Amino acid sequence: MSDQNALTPRVLIVRHGETEWSKSGRSTSFTEVDLTAAGAAQVSSAAAVLVGSGKLIDPCHVAHVFVSPRKRAETTLDLLLPPSSDISKEKITFTEDITEWNYGDYEGKTNEEIRRLREDKGWDKEQEWTVWSDGLEEVTDRLDKLIVHIKSIQEPLMDGTEPADIVLVSHIFHGLK
């Protein structure tokens, strides 16, 4: 195969479509929240532009797909890469490794509500709370594990002779907004 036609391994990250909670800025980890009609339309519109032969996500170049097991990510996968996309079920793994982090008592609350709650308890006097204040180590550990797994899939394919794209369908952590 010539270098011109070599397949460069990529990792493509797709965030789930809009939910009522993401629309209102509510922290969502384990609560199952459906996509809104607008969220489903977002994914369908993106799929029409991004997925297909010769497009950014070309199903024949996909080596594996990792999906958060949350309903909003599963629905996004179904809209993005329907069975007609020719990506076999064997190439799809549902994994907790790319779920949103656990917001615990902050589940369903906005960042402003969390800050008020923490202020009422007398916390964060030295520095204002951010989503990065809690739980980052647990998320980092999960993502490090996934990176090792992705590397094990892509490493033998680095010569560019076989498909090596990895697609992640996840949450891209609410706090990144």
In angstroms, the CA 21 to CA 23 distance is: 5
Contact residues for 12 (Cβ-Cβ < 8 A; gap 6+): 56, 57, 165, 166, 167, 168
101 is in an annotated binding site: yes
The residue with tokens 């090792």 is 148
Residues 15, 164 contacting (CB under 8 angstroms): no
What are the structure tokens assigned to 73, written together?
């990510």
Q: Look up the pTM and report it.
A: 0.89
**Identity of the amino acid at 30:** F
Instruction: Catalogue the active-site residues.
Output: 16, 100
For residue 124, how many other CB atoms are within 10 A of its CB? 13
For residue 87, how many other CB atoms are within 10 A of its CB? 21
Q: Rounded to a whole number, what is the largest CA-CA distance in the chain?
A: 64
User: What structural domains does the chain harbor?
Assistant: 3-176 (3.40.50.1240)
Q: What is the pLDDT along the chain (177 residues), one digit of tens a residue?
A: 334 456 789 999 999 999 999 999 999 999 999 999 999 999 999 999 999 999 999 999 999 999 999 999 999 999 999 888 889 999 999 999 999 888 889 999 999 999 999 999 999 988 888 877 777 888 889 999 999 999 999 999 999 889 899 999 998 754 444
111 is in an annotated binding site: no
106 is in an annotated binding site: no
100 is in an annotated binding site: yes
